[in-house]
Every structure is written in C-alpha cells, then in structure tokens.
Amino acid sequence: MTVAEAPRVYHAFRSPYSRLGLHILKRAGLNPPVIPFTGPPDGVPFSDPAQNKPKRKYYSQDAPRMTLRMGLQIAPPRPFDIDFDPANRTLAAANEAGRGLEFAIAVSDARWGRGENISDLDVLRRAATEIGWSTDAVDDAQASERVDALLADHRKLIEADGVFGVPFAVFGENKYWGHDRFELFVEDFSQ
C-alpha cells in the first residue's frame, strides 16, 4: 500500500471532536497513523472556533452532548490555550513506535476527560505509562531531530491532503471531516 493509499487520520489535542473521532476508530478496532494537525496548509487562514462567539457557544453545548452520548467523561481543560508542541512531538514519536492511536487517546482523555494541562511533560509521561510505553520516549521526543523530520513530513501531508480542520481522515481519494464522518470512514476502510 502506497502512502497515497494508506489511511491517515489528522488530530488536534485542542479539539474535543478529535477525541471523539479517535474513540470511534478504537471501538472499530482500527489503528491508522494519527498525524498531529499543526494548522491548515500554508496560505489558508485558520478559522479559530474559540474566537467566534456564536460558534464557541454552540461548541460549549454540543461537545459535552456528543461526548456524553459516547459514554465518555468530559471536563473543560484548564488552561484552554496551551503549547501543544510537546504533545504533538510525542504523538509523532508514538506513531513511529506504532503507539499513535492509543497515545493520542490517552492524552486526549487527559485533556478533555480530566481537564489536565497536556503541555506538562508529567501529564504526557502518565499517558505513556497508561498505555505501557516508555516515559523516556516522551522526553526524547522533545529535542529529537528525527521528530523534527517527522513533523516536517506531516506538514507536507497536511498540504497534499488539503486538511483544513479536525478530525479529518483520508483513505485513498476519499476525505472525511468531522467525527460524525468517522463511522463512514470505518465502513469504507473495512470493506
């Protein structure tokens, strides 16, 4: 299977909907690469939902509703705006180790299920321990040239796939945006 044919999932720890998409994949028994979404393609403006008051009000109603519907806990993260680079760097390393989905879920659950600050390396280490992965990998990822190269490759994939928001999945020529489309992604991928 070529890179173009392989399924890819784009995820942002900032998004409660990304967390829901990951849980849909886990429940379906899928384990595709989970690529940290570090922003839209160059030159494409980012429409920050937190800066749009009506959208933010809707999200504050909808995200808990959808989370509880999936049987997951929810707790607003404090603080909300943080440095996502440590988590993204560790996710890139986790993907390379074949642990991307489970690490992304553990970190997303820490942020959106328990309200923890995932820019704190201790929180990331606990997530690594939770999935039976090395806590040294968290520390190593923070200054790794290999992770720098992986993140640069991820930016190229974001550009090539035209990813404009999360969660977002790609399978062949098909694209799926929003956790509510992940059921369709699972169906298509499983055929």
pLDDT tens-digit readout, 137-182 = 999 999 999 999 999 999 999 999 999 999 999 998 999 999 999 9
Please give the structure tokens belonging to residue 116.
Answer: 């923890």
Alpha helices (H) in 70-99, listed in sequence order: 85-96
Q: Which helix (H) or strand (E) holds 56?
A: helix 53-69
The reported pTM is 0.93
Q: Is 175 helix (H, G, I), strand (E, B) or coil?
A: strand
* Residue 182 near residue 167, CB atoms below 8 Å: yes
Please give the structure tokens belonging to residue 11.
Answer: 């995820």
Q: Which fold has domain 22-190?
A: Glutaredoxin (3.40.30)
Residue 120 is given by DSSP the state S
How do the domains of the chain map onto residue ranges? 22-190
Q: Is 48 helix (H, G, I), strand (E, B) or coil?
A: coil
Please give the structure tokens belonging to residue 104.
Answer: 């992304």
